[in-house]
Chains A and B, each alone.
Chain A
Amino acid sequence: MIRLWQAGLLLLAVVTIYLLPGTLKNYGIYIVTLWAVYVIAGMGLNLTVGYAGQISLGQAAFWGIGAYTTAIALKAGLPFLAALPLSAALCFAVGLLLGFPALRVQHHYLAFATLGFNVLVFLAFRNEDWLTGGTFGINNIPRPILFGWRLRAPLDFFHLTWIATVVMGALMALLLRSPWGRAFAALRDNPIRAESVGIDTTFYTLLAFAIGAAYAGIAGAFFAPLVGFIEPAPFAVTTSLSMLLMVIAGGSGRLFGPAIGAVVVVLLPEWLRFAAEWYLAIFGVLIVVMMVWLPGGLLSIPERLRAARILK
């Protein structure tokens, strides 16, 4: 159960992050908003990877589907509050369609199928000019209008995104505490045992995957108006890989894992600009070292320290 001081700490963090970007310039606000967008997509992937125990390498494809859906809908004059659920629902449906056949066969095949799916979606974004604008992409995506008020200022849009992130996080926490969430964990820890106690493993894995996809869709719905211009490049397989990296680096199967992981993937590159061209190489080596020494991710450090103290 959450203790009082933990709840207090959480509230403090939420409020601090809400207020903090007020002190930043526009670019800083953009980066922090991007971080929030990644956190939403990461939470969805964490459900698939960390709780249902399936590797998905296609999160960026769902992110892209969400972004393009919202972009096209906003350009067509639909309100943001309609485009957002549309993006989520479309990703959920595509997730079901992709997951259903892929999950008949166990473990690593979902990873392969999602990877192939991501490449295919990327090709479609690039080649279907009539819908996606091809390599030129879609530009001048308007910022959303909420209750007659257009969120044109970067700070306002950040606040909206951050509120959505907190809401999506709370929904995820509720889901994980529900019997459904317990079923997801049972599935990851021992799928055969879970099946033997009457959990329909295929159904729950499929559901986890589709909900994870819907989260990516929602993240995409915020990404499109954030950048105002989308083209295929951000939705390539490499982004899926860095999203997976983000979940594992933070600590997969932990609610706050993606938030920490997104710091590593989105904010760290900005801070390490001084290392210039060396940055990515160092980053790659760090990942390998971290996986060797800390396979449970950054959030497993307290446990590791506690275990080390007991051993002494």
Chain B
Amino acid sequence: MIDFLQLIVSGTATGACYALAALGFTLLWQASGTINFALGEMVMLPAFIMLFFIGPAGLPLPLAFAATLLVSLFVLGLGFKRLVVDPMLKHGVIPLVIATLGLSIAMKQGVRIAFSAQVFTFPAVFSQELLTIGGARLSVSDLGTVVVAGGLVIALQAFLNRTLTGRAMQAVAQNRDAATVLGINVQRMVLYAFLINAALAATTALLVTPVYLAKFDMGDTLGLKAFYAAIIGGFNQSRGALLGGILVGVLENLVGAYLSPGYKDGVALVLFLAVILFKPEGLLGKPEERKV
């Protein structure tokens, strides 16, 4: 029972990180119809940028994070939108999917050349202590991750629902033409979505890398899990990502511990397939209408 509680907490922590990445994915999809397959690499790249700022540049972690955030906003937000997505939107979804694949190869291999294929350790964000609560030993870092990631998701949710800008972004996601008629600056709202995605990716890197360590191909699994999380929770609902992420994180922990480590990734996958087949709009999503 105590093991069970520990598994749930650490699963929730991992899941919260998946949720952050998944949230960026759904935001991009809603704002611009971009299916971003470079999702995992967009977390991997900030991790290495941060390592650069900490190592050769010698900055303390908070400053390194701030600098990384700036670089991410500029490169993964603005640059990604202007150089890759904008010129391709008119050609439809498929070329863009391929382009993000190309981008993920380029980022992965670029980092491998710059930093080698080694595994790098990453400074811890939270203290490494274990708290004992009612017999269960819970790590501070797991709890901290849940609080930070969960807090961010909830804050973003509030931003999207309560502020004028957030509601304008939702309007753009629902109907571009109507939003334009209402005088919303559509391009600006789309840019916000890209910037938020970049910020979320940098934050995910900060939370995930101390546990999973930095490696040039760390984005592979992470991207896939975030992708499951986005679909399970609901492609067109931001809060779905949180539910999806935590479900995936907790399930893989429980299955790995109790059923079979080999199929650790399998159960989230089965849930993912079941959602696609029986409730394609996701657990919390609304059905999409067909456009003619």
A40 CB, nearest partner CB in chain B, Å: 21
Interface residues of A in 249-284 (CB under 8 A from B): 249, 252, 277-278, 280-281, 283-284
Chain A residues, Cβ within 8 Å of B106:
281, 283-285, 287-288
- Does any Cβ of B come within 8 Å of A127's Cβ? yes
Interface residues of A in 190-208 (CB under 8 A from B): 192
Complex Cα spacing A34 to B149, Å = 46
State whether B277 touches A106 (Cβ < 8 A).
Answer: no
Chain A residues, Cβ within 8 Å of B97:
55, 111, 244
State whether A108 touches B263 (Cβ < 8 A).
Answer: no
Q: Which residue of B is nearest A54, CB measured? A: B94
A204 CB, nearest partner CB in chain B, Å: 18
Complex Cα spacing A101 to B277, Å = 6
Complex Cα spacing A284 to B276, Å = 30
Chain B residues, Cβ within 8 Å of A102:
276-277
Complex Cα spacing A292 to B224, Å = 25
- Does any Cβ of A come within 8 Å of B101's Cβ? yes
State whether A284 touches B102 (Cβ < 8 A).
Answer: yes
State whether B292 touches A192 (Cβ < 8 A).
Answer: yes
Given A55-B97, A105-B280, A123-B263 in contact, is the A116-B103 Cβ separation under 8 Å?
Answer: no
Chain B residues, Cβ within 8 Å of A283:
102, 105-106, 109
Q: Which residue of A is nearest B95, CB measured? A: A295
Given A287-B102, A291-B102 in contact, is the A116-B84 Cβ separation under 8 Å?
Answer: no
- Does any Cβ of B come within 8 Å of A126's Cβ? yes
Given A277-B112, A278-B113 in contact, is the A244-B270 Cβ separation under 8 Å?
Answer: no
Complex Cα spacing A116 to B260, Å = 19
User: Which secondary structure dominates where chain B touches chain A?
Assistant: helix
Complex Cα spacing A111 to B98, Å = 12
A106, A111, A237, A284: most-surrounded residue (chain B CB, <10 A): A284
State whether B98 touches A108 (Cβ < 8 A).
Answer: no
A-B contact count (CB 8 A): 122
Complex Cα spacing A287 to B95, Å = 10
Question: Scoring B residues 101 to 126 as 1 if CB is less than 8 Å from chain A, else 0, what string do you get?
Answer: 11111111110110000000000000
Question: Scoring A residues 146 to 185 as 1 if CB is less than 8 Å from chain B, else 0, what string do you get?
Answer: 0000000000000000000000000000000000000000
- Does any Cβ of B come within 8 Å of A49's Cβ? yes
- Does any Cβ of A come within 8 Å of B269's Cβ? yes
State whether B262 touches A49 (Cβ < 8 A).
Answer: no
Chain A residues, Cβ within 8 Å of B227:
112, 115
The count of chain B contact residues (Cβ–Cβ below 8 Å) is 45
State whether B98 touches A117 (Cβ < 8 A).
Answer: no
State whether B113 touches A281 (Cβ < 8 A).
Answer: yes
Interface residues of A in 102-156 (CB under 8 A from B): 102, 105-109, 111-113, 115-117, 119-120, 123, 126-127
Given A123-B266, A241-B101, A284-B106 in contact, is the A116-B273 Cβ separation under 8 Å?
Answer: yes
State whether B292 touches A281 (Cβ < 8 A).
Answer: no
- Does any Cβ of A come within 8 Å of B152's Cβ? no
Complex Cα spacing A239 to B289, Å = 33
- Does any Cβ of B come within 8 Å of A248's Cβ? yes
State whether A106 touches B102 (Cβ < 8 A).
Answer: no
Complex Cα spacing A281 to B272, Å = 31
- Does any Cβ of B come within 8 Å of A286's Cβ? yes
Please choose the segment from B5-13, B85-93, B196-204 that sits at the chain A interface, where 4 or more of its residues have CB less than 8 A away. Answer: B85-93
Given A102-B277, A105-B280 in contact, is the A281-B262 Cβ separation under 8 Å?
Answer: no
- Does any Cβ of A come within 8 Å of B231's Cβ? yes
Other than the given A244-B98, A244-B101, 16 more pairs (CB < 8 A) read A55-B94, A101-B278, A112-B227, A112-B272, A113-B277, A120-B269, A245-B102, A278-B113, A283-B106, A284-B107, A284-B108, A287-B103, A288-B99, A288-B103, A291-B95, A291-B102
20 A-B pairs whose Cβ atoms sit less than 8 Å apart in the complex: A55-B94, A101-B277, A102-B276, A109-B276, A109-B280, A112-B276, A120-B269, A120-B273, A126-B262, A127-B260, A245-B98, A245-B102, A252-B94, A281-B105, A281-B110, A283-B105, A285-B102, A288-B106, A290-B102, A295-B91
Which residues from chain B sit less than 8 Å from chain A, CB to CB?
35, 37, 83-84, 87-88, 91, 93-99, 101-110, 112-113, 224, 227-228, 231, 260, 262-263, 265-266, 269-270, 272-273, 276-278, 280, 290, 292
